Amino acid sequence: MTLRTGSTTEESRAPAAVPPVRPAPKKKQKNFDGYWPWLFVLPTLLGVLGFYIWPIIQTGYLSFTETGPFGGEEFIGLDNYQTMLADGNVGQALINTLVYTVIVLAGIPIALLMANLVNQPGLKFASFYRVLFFMPYIAMPTAVALVWRMIYNGDFGILNWLLSLVGIDGPYWTSTPGFAIVSVGIVGMWASLGFGIIILGAALKNISPEYYEAAQLDGATKWKQFTAITVPLVTPSLFFVTIISVINGFQLFDLLYAIMGQYNPALVQSQSLVYIFYNQAFIQNDKGYAAAIGMLILVVIGIVTFFQFRMQKKWVNYV
Amino acid sequence: MRKLTRLAPLALVAALALTSCSAPAASDEAVTADSAASISYAIWDENQVPALEANIAAFNEIYPNIEVKIDITPWAQYFTKLQTQASGDTLPDVFWMNGPNFQLYAANDQLEPMTNVIDDGSVDPANYVEVLNDLYSYDDVQYGMPKDFDTVALWYNQAILTEAGVATPDDTWTWDDFHTAAKTVSDNLADQGIYGVATGLTGGQEGYYNTILQAGGSILSDDGTTSGYDDPKTIRGLQFWADLIADGSSPNLQQLSDTPHNAWFTSSKTAFFWSGTWSVAELAAASNTLDLNVAPLPQDEKQATVIHGLANVVSANSANKGAAQAFQAYLGSEEAQTLQAEMGAANPAFIGAGQAFLDSVDHFDLQVFIDEADNYAYPFPVSKDTAAWTSIENELLPQAFSGARTVEDVADELATRMNEALAAE
Amino acid sequence: MSKESLSPAQQGANSVRTHLVLGIIGFVMVFPFIWQLVISLSTNDQVMSVPPTFWPGDLQWGNFVDVFTKLPFFDQFGVSVGITVIRVIGQVVLCSMAGYAFARMRFRGRGVFLAVILSILMVPPQVYLIPQFQIIQNLGLLNTFIGIALPGIFSAFGVFLMRQIFLGLPLELEEAARLDGANPFQIFYKIMLPLATPGISALVIITTLWSWNDLLWPLVVTTYAEKMPVSAGLATLAGSITTDYPVMMAASVLAMAPVLILFIILQRRVVEGLAFSGSK
């Protein structure tokens, strides 16, 4: 409550359709915070360098070598990358990974709407609904995959049974190329909604009710309030959820494997980049080539993330 | 990336400080009843733990001070973990090995040869199915102690056969007899959604490896250097399955993916099921088990089945090699393998120790599996880098079985790419 | 329960339509778990048969008993709790400090270091497997709590989350404290950290979940069943040929329960706690 008293001039402008924008960083006004920041970041930085960056550098090096199955490598320059460019499976996997990521991203607006619904003031059973929505996020992939396989089963699944009631002859969801990656994407979306709802729900609670009250006085509809107040004010969290969803989407592996199963004729057309990495590194024992695919994943996500950060100035409003 | 390279030297220093290696000192002294050691034993099948614990208890009556700890890793992660451990020279002292991975580990000096235990008489290879000794030998040196074996036979559901008016299969059946029977079941019982046959077509062990051999073809040349997929007889062995799917005698590949082949059979949705010794426990527990039995595979040019089995191997870097080899040898003993069979864990590789396996399910004619092994079993095809070409099989063959391309066309591409992979070994 | 005390907006919140929509979505979200529960009380034969049986008839409570005979469940539960506590505490301390520095402090190379830390999120975890294993092995930490937990206390995700949280907090209080002569650590610890409680709760939930379900890494750095966490133990129930699905599902239900309870407790804090950090 103390916060509410510390009002600023900006506050009196509420409710603005676009919330107050953070003042531009005061560049001229020096000044570094001395050694303090290093105390804060050094432990993390050292751990990250030792446990993560070093492996990435090693992987980068391996991608220019041909490796023996149990170590020992020979420098071969760009050969692995040339093989990769010529490998149709890699291109297909990149497309599949993108399709999956887009489907998971499509879950973000749904998560926002659901978070909005469940965060309405005075809603009864709100915590109950929140727990329901969150449950898929707790799920262990191997356990839910079995259930989803039963739902998707082309001959005996309930999804096709429901469709047959309305006269639609459903496909073999998980074993038809094209359908398969979409089916996996829907499970991915289902599993990650809970994450979006938590983060976005927290952000929603940050919005002062005064904005809405004022908007109501102006006669704004619920939808107008949602688009003009809610969405702009949660953009930092939306930005965060988007970045994380893209990164997680690109790491599709367990879920694909668990849902499609090992006897799937569509597996080759439906594999993801990480799937190819895993297959090359641990099944085919070609760690050099696998490393090149690992670097491809890093570069693709890196580029996408870089542009997201560049673009954020256009749509993300920090308070 | 510019950002990363600037940090590289720092990370290098940090990592070098961390990667100071400590090589384990190998102790090769002879093991006696008093030897004390602790060894690890890595396996992947949780169901076999009780039998293996009984083995360990019996082993400890001879070597009371050698502690054996079981390290269980699920099948899906087993070889990933082994590779990670091999990269740090910390392979388990004793571990399970399968055919497709064996040569990779043997050729790269990860496994301890059995030469000394064979020379000193603690193991006599003549006691084991010969094909399995060969499977676990590399450059004429044996590394693996055969543990158990699988052959493939024709499981059938008598109730469905009777209802469809089809005779019970026997050892005179040809491919034509089989195909006619399967088609008849699919036609007569279509209204119940029952098909003739289901088998696993990802990996050849259950299905197409057997028919390729029966047709007189081969998957891999005897010296392991060239593909057999361009042989017309091999193509005939593949065509067999494409035909069964094409005329509806078998569910198609998508149906076999959505509902695995064993589920079709245990749900009484197919009359026949090509599968191996490993299915005995599952089929004995199925609700329709009393309708089920097993017969020899049908024949074409000849009778044939692939045979495969697991082996126990010792790590070349084991710190307790003596104790590990003593345990490896013990696991191959008649006593240990009989116990495995009695506890229903596996069909033993020790010739003659399988009686308990035969007695394990009264209403199955399990002698079929032993007879096949004795008379017309062919080794599971493996090379130094088996995974490289089995993944090509799994990529291409679905196109043949689904009818998307002709079998000849697919087999031709498979042979070419497989030969490239073999040349790269 | 007096309706008069609710504002019109609040009454709208409880319309039949709202509850219908929420109920339907909630059912869709939770349906797979209901089925999972049903499977955990079925026989394996029922699970493997087609068409599926939706109700097993005779409930197989023995599947839950089997979990305890097939797995050293209590040992594994202890390991799961141990590594999760280490990771959660480690991440809360390290990530909130680093996140705060990246959000509010000025220092040379800030952008570069943030990019470096974020870059580790972009590589699939499988890439780290062998190098991290070798580090843990060389530190002599195989088969230990610390060995399983150590790499996971450093989290790029957590740093990024906390940075975003701190970026969303008002500047004024900090400036006031600075004028009062508080040092940066005091400002962080006494003023900003309490404000970030809802974000920390979210971090606790997410880290707990990730740690609880983490599979490949613990499998590789542990050797014996009683040293494994529950997630890895569960996976060992999956056979190479056949799997006893009901027992696996029962184990998974048991494994999920504590996390669900933690969420039920914490979700109030996440949501209600946030009311204090009104951003206006």
B168 within some domain: yes
Give C77 to chain A, closest Cα distance, Å.
15
User: What residues in A contact C7, CB-CB < 8 Å?
Assistant: 122
Give B406 to chain C, closest Cα distance, Å.
31
Q: Is A8 on the interface with C (CB under 8 A)?
A: yes
Number of Cβ pairs < 8 A linking chain A and chain C: 291
CATH code of the domain containing B169: 3.40.190.10
Q: Is C11 on the interface with A (CB under 8 A)?
A: yes
Tokens read off for A120: 């309405």
pLDDT of residue C172: 84
User: What residues in C contact A196, CB-CB < 8 Å?
Assistant: none
Q: Which of B56-65, B348-357, C72-81 has the highest mean pLDDT?
A: B56-65
pLDDT at A4 over 80: no
Q: Is C190 on the interface with A (CB under 8 A)?
A: no
A contact residues 230-289, partner B, Cβ 8 Å cutoff: 260-268, 279, 282-285
| b/e sequence B268-300, b meaning 16+ C-beta within 10 Å | bbbbbbbbbbbbbbbbeebebbebbbbbbbbbb
Q: What's the mean pLDDT in A91-96?
A: 94
pLDDT of residue C240: 64
pLDDT range class, residue B230, cuts 50, 70, 90 = very high
Q: What's the mean pLDDT in C127-146?
A: 87
B322 within some domain: yes
**pLDDT tens sequence across A170-180:** 999 999 998 99
Number of Cβ pairs < 8 A linking chain B and chain C: 99
A contact residues 267-286, partner C, Cβ 8 Å cutoff: 273-274, 277-278, 281-282
Mutate to test the interface with A, among C46, C89, C122 (most CBs of A within 10 A): C122
What residue segments make up the domains of chain C, in order of their start? 3-62, 72-236
Residue of C nearest to B275 (CA): C241
pLDDT range class, residue B2, cuts 50, 70, 90 = very low
How confident is the prediction for chain B on average, in pLDDT?
89
Question: Are B4 and A266 a contacting pair at CB < 8 A?
Answer: no
Number of Cβ pairs < 8 A linking chain A and chain B: 98
Identify the residue with better confidence: C225 or A303: A303
3-state DSSP call for residue B72?
Answer: strand
Among A60, A175, A283, beta carbon nearest to B257: A175
Identify the residue with better confidence: C115 or A11: C115
B249 and B200 within one domain: yes
What distance in Å separates the CA atoms of residue C158 and residue B4, rounded to the nearest whole number?
21
**pLDDT tens sequence across A129-168:** 888 888 888 877 777 887 898 889 888 888 998 899 899 9
Among A56, A155, A282, beta carbon nearest to B255: A155
Q: Is B12 on the interface with A (CB under 8 A)?
A: yes
Give A102 to chain B, closest Cα distance, Å.
25
Identify the residue with better confidence: B111 or B89: B111
Question: Are A262 and B202 a contacting pair at CB < 8 A?
Answer: yes
A contact residues 94-113, partner C, Cβ 8 Å cutoff: none
| b/e sequence A192-213, b meaning 16+ C-beta within 10 Å | bbbbbbbbbbbbbbbbbeebbe
Q: What's the mean pLDDT in C92-115?
A: 92
pLDDT at B24 over 70: no
Q: Is B79 on the interface with A (CB under 8 A)?
A: yes
Question: Are A50 and B11 a contacting pair at CB < 8 A?
Answer: yes
pLDDT of residue A260: 87
**pLDDT tens sequence across B286-308:** 889 999 999 999 999 999 999 99
- Specify the range with the lowest mean pLDDT, choosing from A41-55, A79-93, A199-213, B37-51: A199-213
Q: What's the mean pLDDT in B201-230?
A: 93
pLDDT range class, residue C119, cuts 50, 70, 90 = confident
What does DSSP assign to residue B361? -
B364 within some domain: no
B141 and B37 within one domain: yes
- ipTM here: 0.82
pLDDT of residue C199: 81
Which amino acid is it at B285? A
pLDDT range class, residue C269, cuts 50, 70, 90 = low
Q: Is A46 on the interface with B (CB under 8 A)?
A: yes
What percentage of chain C exceeds 90 in pLDDT? 16
User: What residues in C contact A119, CB-CB < 8 Å?
Assistant: 271
For chain A, what is the radius of gyration of the CA atoms?
24
- B151 has which bridge partners? B307
pLDDT of residue C235: 79
3-state DSSP call for residue B285?
Answer: helix
Cβ proximity of B99 and B279 under 8 Å? no
Question: Are B88 and C223 a contacting pair at CB < 8 A?
Answer: no
Identify the residue with better confidence: A29 or C206: C206
Which amino acid is it at B162? T
- CA torsion sign, C237 to C238 to C244 to C249? positive
What distance in Å separates the CA atoms of residue C197 and residue C176, rounded to the nearest whole number?
20
B80 and B217 within one domain: no
pLDDT of residue A32: 67
What distance in Å separates the CA atoms of residue A45 and residue A39, rounded to the nearest whole number?
10
Q: What's the mean pLDDT in C145-152?
A: 90
pLDDT at C257 over 90: no
pLDDT of residue B228: 95
What percentage of chain B exceeds 90 in pLDDT? 71
pLDDT of residue A245: 92
Residue of B nearest to A265 (CA): B398
Cβ proximity of C54 and A158 under 8 Å? no
Residue of C nearest to A147 (CA): C32
C contact residues 34-63, partner A, Cβ 8 Å cutoff: 35-36, 39, 50-52
User: What residues in C contact B21, CB-CB < 8 Å?
Assistant: 138
pLDDT range class, residue C241, cuts 50, 70, 90 = low
- Specify the range with the lowest mean pLDDT, choosing from A82-91, A209-218, B375-384: A209-218
B297 within some domain: yes
B138 within some domain: yes
User: What residues in C contact B269, CB-CB < 8 Å?
Assistant: 50
Q: Is A154 on the interface with B (CB under 8 A)?
A: yes
Q: What's the mean pLDDT in C202-207?
A: 86
**pLDDT tens sequence across C77-99:** 899 999 999 999 999 999 999 99
Cβ-based neighbours of B422, under 8 Å, separated by 6 or more:
B220, B224, B225, B226, B227, B383, B389
- A148 has which bridge partners? none
Q: What's the mean pLDDT in A71-91?
A: 90
**pLDDT tens sequence across B323-345:** 999 999 999 999 999 998 888 77
pLDDT at A21 over 60: no
B305-308 and B377-379 beta bridge pairing: parallel
Question: Are A41 and C101 a contacting pair at CB < 8 A?
Answer: yes
Tokens read off for B131: 């094909």
- Residue corresponding to tokens 């990024």: C160
Cβ-based neighbours of B294, under 8 Å, separated by 6 or more:
B153, B154, B155, B156, B364, B365, B366, B368, B369
Tokens read off for C53: 């049986």
Q: What's the mean pLDDT in C241-265?
A: 82
Residue B243: closest CA among B186, B295, B292, B192: B186
Cis, peptide link before residue C51, omega less than 30° from 0: yes
User: What residues in C contact A130, CB-CB < 8 Å?
Assistant: 267, 271
Domain range holding B112? 31-149+309-353
pLDDT at A27 over 80: no
Question: Are A147 and C122 a contacting pair at CB < 8 A?
Answer: no
Cβ proximity of A286 and A280 under 8 Å? yes
pLDDT at C156 over 60: yes
B188 and B130 within one domain: no
What does DSSP assign to residue B419? H
End-to-end CA distance of chain A: 18
pLDDT of residue A316: 82
Cβ proximity of A96 and A256 under 8 Å? no
B134 and B222 within one domain: no
B77 and B128 within one domain: yes
pLDDT of residue B273: 96
- Residue corresponding to tokens 């590589």: C123
B217 and B181 within one domain: yes
User: How many independent structural domains does chain B possess?
Assistant: 2
Question: Are C49 and B4 a contacting pair at CB < 8 A?
Answer: no
- B275 has which bridge partners? B153
Q: What's the mean pLDDT in A175-204?
A: 89
Structural domains for chain A: 89-315 (1.10.3720.10)
Q: What's the mean pLDDT in B376-402?
A: 92
SS (H, E, C) B164-231: HCCCCCCCCCEHHHHHHHHHHHHHHCHHHCCEEEECCCCCCCCCHHHHHHHCCCCCECCCCCCECCCC
Residue of A nearest to C130 (CA): A55
Cβ-based neighbours of C85, under 8 Å, separated by 6 or more:
none
What distance in Å separates the CA atoms of residue C194 and residue C200, rounded to the nearest whole number?
9
Mutate to test the interface with B, among C45, C214, C215, C222 (most CBs of B within 10 A): C45
pLDDT of residue A2: 34
B144 and B55 within one domain: yes
- Residue corresponding to tokens 């599993």: A191
B278 and B416 within one domain: yes
What distance in Å separates the CA atoms of residue A137 and residue A197, rounded to the nearest whole number?
10
Among C48, C220, C239, beta carbon nearest to B46: C239
Among A14, A206, A244, beta carbon nearest to C157: A244
HSE, CB side, 13 Å, CA atoms: give it for residue A309.
12
Largest Cα span, chain B: 77
User: What residues in A contact C12, CB-CB < 8 Å?
Assistant: 120
DSSP string spanning A89-144? HHHHHHHHHHHHHHHHHHHHHHHHHHHHHHT-TT-TTHHHHHHHHHHHHH--HHHH
Q: Which of B353, B388, B413 is the last residue in one of the domains?
A: B353
Mutate to test the interface with A, among B254, B255, B417 (most CBs of A within 10 A): B254
How confident is the prediction for chain A on average, in pLDDT?
83
Q: In Å, how far are B410, C217, C234 from C73, measured between CA atoms?
A: 49, 19, 9
B1 within some domain: no
pLDDT of residue B60: 96
pLDDT of residue B215: 96
Residue of B nearest to C139 (CA): B18
Question: Are C249 and A58 a contacting pair at CB < 8 A?
Answer: no
pLDDT of residue B260: 86
What distance in Å separates the CA atoms of residue B97 and residue B104, rounded to the nearest whole number?
11
For chain B, what is the radius of gyration of the CA atoms?
24
Among A49, A60, A261, beta carbon nearest to B257: A261
pLDDT at C272 over 80: no
pLDDT of residue C11: 53
Tokens read off for B385: 């880098």
Among C115, C134, C225, beta carbon nearest to B72: C225
How confident is the prediction for chain C on average, in pLDDT?
82
Q: In Å, how far are A141, A252, B270, C183 from A93, measured between CA atoms?
A: 21, 11, 35, 51
What's the CATH number of domain C72-236, 3.30.365.10, 3.40.50.720, 1.10.630.10, 1.10.3720.10? 1.10.3720.10
Cis, peptide link before residue C170, omega less than 30° from 0: no
Q: What's the mean pLDDT in B236-244?
A: 96
Mutate to test the interface with A, among B258, B402, B410 (most CBs of A within 10 A): B258
Mutate to test the interface with C, among A40, A245, A262, A284 (most CBs of C within 10 A): A40
Cβ proximity of A266 and A180 under 8 Å? yes
Give C30 to chain B, closest Cα distance, Å.
23
Largest Cα span, chain A: 73
B contact residues 56-115, partner C, Cβ 8 Å cutoff: 69-77, 80-81, 83-85, 87-88, 90, 92
Give B188 to chain A, closest Cα distance, Å.
19
What distance in Å separates the CA atoms of residue C82 and residue C69, rounded to the nearest whole number?
22
pLDDT range class, residue A100, cuts 50, 70, 90 = very high
What percentage of chain A exceeds 90 in pLDDT? 33
- A67 has which bridge partners? A73
What distance in Å separates the CA atoms of residue B287 and residue C40, rounded to the nearest whole number?
18
B403 and B281 within one domain: yes
**pLDDT tens sequence across B125-154:** 999 988 999 999 999 999 999 999 999 999
